A and B are shown apart, each in its own frame.
Chain A
């Protein structure tokens, strides 16, 4: 029944080894201009209650009308998750009282979601990959926001988010470690961003996860799970799982049992704590929203959306491996963001794919990371980087000089080819000039010359001196050949 358990994934308890089992409900804000059932803006950061329609404020007699773009976005996402698209789905009311839930119910999809089973392929750092089952994706309304720190006795309610469209993407409990969970959310985020159906901005709350965690002895049936609500960064997802798994293990090893409950992760204290006891468990009284008809569309609608989908990361990665001869790892790094992949392809076009990948991943990404910049705000364009790669390929500059050139382009901009000319960065292949430099070095260091005959590794020292003398512009192959000849090294 169960796949063999990878011992590396087990958590060591005081008494036994434990397997953690994780499933996730990811809430992804749908990219749309207007809300799911009203014409108010979804834009982030407005003045309180400014992006609120009569519908969002649940004024008496107000009725929801669905935003067709949100439907299209959910279908696109379903297609991106290789999931079954349900051509008939139903909107239900989930009834509960909360001050940031103005209607007294959330319009969601319960029994008949718009998207059914799908899957996500997740690559792990160690080169293995796992397939995470998607149970469903449904559309629902976001709630408003309450601020609790303005006043000692009052909470302040802002309904700007109230009614913004969310996709709740529910995974199967297929994840077996915090690493897998983090990688899954990362991959999901990549897919959503490729599709353009969610911006994935976790800082703005565009992507949040409810994490279901249970532990069991390997081979045993699933344990009782706890749901950790609203974890809003990938790092916290990992921490929350680790913390919660250890809490459960401690209880179980102590002979206790786990209460199924909703918990909150407190990153400051590094603990999860109970939000709601079982007695307070909600009875949501789901029923089909009588203000909304069932949502129905035909296959042609789905097909048209499918035809408009971009190439997704898995396909792109496979193509990069095949067409550019990249390692799966490098290809994976490049396709993690659609903009990075596009940048890479612009650099690689008509050039050596591997060299391009090296420059994009090591130099560009490295530098962007260091500066905390995204690919969208790179100061070095794909054309500029392409030109640098060309200059190396043509033997005009050495790899070392290329790094200097990259630095100049990064800070000052400009056409790399022109910069090489104007700053005299061209590689020296003229053996006469190199010879002159070498002769000078040999003349100045007779002791080293003598040693070199017995100790050929000293060649490296001479190469370094020569490069220094020529300002790094000497062709390294020519320097090597000349030095060997003059020093009499075989």
Chain B
């Protein structure tokens, strides 16, 4: 048994059956992590803490008090504040920040017995789709094009999470998704990632990017593993006003429900101009698999789809410009002196934020400024209402879930999209961002390999708080497509 090739569910069962100890499992992952530094997936390794947690897990396992995730080694995106462990959000401005508190989501995982291996790299403040905006260097995807050793991006912003999971450095990882930051990197790396319904996971203790869009979720190697992880991460939290007081369903049980009797919508507006034939075929395959498994496939219309991305690039930067105002060099993080207090602020923020973050703060500042607020921000929020209404109408007409491609292309090379036009990079999120704008759950599941040997994913969009259906449908795709064979560790 190779501990690194186990799925999370398999590892859990092996731990319970005492076929492996938590310390062995953790050590195997710490070793893999140490050998994979070329990927730059982790910005901080916490081996001592990991082994301490593993030993505690072994004690619980021995005394028969094992909790749901007892002894499962995980990576934590460095956007989740971890008590006593430096948390940077991928930014230089937080290089020295040691939170005196633990994020709600990570605390839930530790409550359930999981083990922290370290903190995962990400785009700075989760702003990016390729993990190239991190102040701590880009993450290298474990994937390569067939016959090429060109470095590829793992997607972003949860690039470290996706790369670490695909490279078997951890059994699962926390991630966050504001416009596609869980689903796009999952699709790029042949892993599964779910962004739950807005409000399913508490945002308390997770560094904010855009408050009305941010949601935490897991990235793991199988649909079942994601279901298990989300079951622990989710849950009510009195400290987050936007977190719902709904009980967490048994997501793992939903995985095997099947799709018989379900109606799956295929939104015609997602058939965008210039969509690669391979993506179209993947989408058709997905629909065929679901039909074969007993679902009804129905074409639907989501007329405001094309407005989602531009509206997102008003709402998200606006909220970010305000959320990131607290990084001022006064209470934590970087400080660069200036001629007076305003100079200190300006120098600190100029040196502490990277180019993409500054760009978004400035766009956000502009669209909220006097004279532009109504034309930009209010209009974008109205369009959000329309986007949400599109989905509501589809669901009211009997659609249970919506099937779309996860990304418009497979992973691209590092530096390939470094053009002067930031919009080119933004288009990566064209299929995922509608889901955040409407607050819906969305899952990305691997569905095939393209001509260059790179993974491609499909996305399923669900009704609010109906992640269960997404897990059921995603499992059918995973079964039909066959588990993606992950790349051999060329990096080790």
Residues of A that sit less than 8 Å from B by CB: 54, 57-66, 93, 95, 97, 99, 102-105, 155, 157, 283, 285-287, 289-293
Contact = CB atoms under 8 A, between A and B. Distances in A.
Given A104-B325, A291-B211, A60 B81 contact: yes
Nearest to B243: A63
B326 A58 contact: yes
- The 8 A-B residue pairs whose C-beta atoms are closest, nearest first, are A104-B325, A290-B211, A285-B368, A290-B212, A58-B326, A61-B205, A60-B207, A283-B370
A105 B208 CA distance: 14
Interface stretch (B135-143, B277-285, B327-335, B415-423): B327-335
Interface string B354-397: 00000000000100111001000100000000000000000000
Given A54-B101, A157-B330, A285-B373, A64 B241 contact: yes
A103 B326 contact: yes
A292 B243 CA distance: 11
Interface residues of B, number: 44
Contacts of B322: 93, 95, 104-105, 285, 287
Nearest to B88: A60
Contact of A292 (B203, B241, B365, B373): B241
Contact of A102 (B206, B326, B368, B377): B326
Contacts of A54: 100-101
B262 interface: no
Interface in B443-474: none
Contact of A61 (B206, B212, B321): B206
B479 interface: no
B325 A95 contact: yes
Given A60-B326, A95-B322, A65 B241 contact: yes
Interface string B195-209: 000000001111110
Nearest to B377: A287
A285 B331 contact: no
B44 to A, nearest CB: 16
B241 A293 contact: yes
Contacts of B210: 290
Given A60-B207, A283-B370, A287-B368, A65 B239 contact: yes
A104 B241 contact: no
Nearest to A60: B207
Contacts of B325: 95, 97, 103-105
Contacts of A64: 241
Contact of A66 (B101, B211, B241, B321): B241
B217 to A, nearest CB: 16
B93 to A, nearest CB: 10
Which of B94, B100, B318, B326 gathers most chain A CB within 10 Å? B326
A57 B203 CA distance: 17
A104 to B, nearest CB: 2
Given A61-B207, A102-B330, A287-B318, A293 B242 contact: yes
Contact of B332 (A59, A155, A290): A59
B208 A102 contact: no
Nearest to B211: A290
Contacts of A293: 241-242
Given A103-B325, A287-B318, A63 B239 contact: yes
Contacts of A102: 326, 330-331
Nearest to A64: B241
A61 B369 contact: no
Contacts of A61: 80-81, 99, 103, 203-208
A60 B210 CA distance: 13
B20 to A, nearest CB: 34
Contacts of A286: 368, 373
> Interface centre among A102, A285, A292, by most B CB within 10 Å?
A285
B373 to A, nearest CB: 7
B319 interface: yes
B328 A60 contact: no
Interface string B248-280: 000000000000000000000000000000000
A105 B318 CA distance: 13
Contacts of A285: 321-322, 365, 368-370, 373
A161 to B, nearest CB: 15
Contacts of A93: 322
Contacts of A105: 322, 325
A97 B241 CA distance: 25
16 contacts: A54-B100, A61-B80, A61-B203, A62-B204, A63-B240, A66-B241, A95-B325, A95-B368, A99-B328, A99-B341, A104-B322, A155-B341, A157-B330, A285-B369, A287-B318, A290-B212
B235 to A, nearest CB: 15
B408 to A, nearest CB: 28
Given A60-B87, A61-B206, A105-B322, A291 B103 contact: no
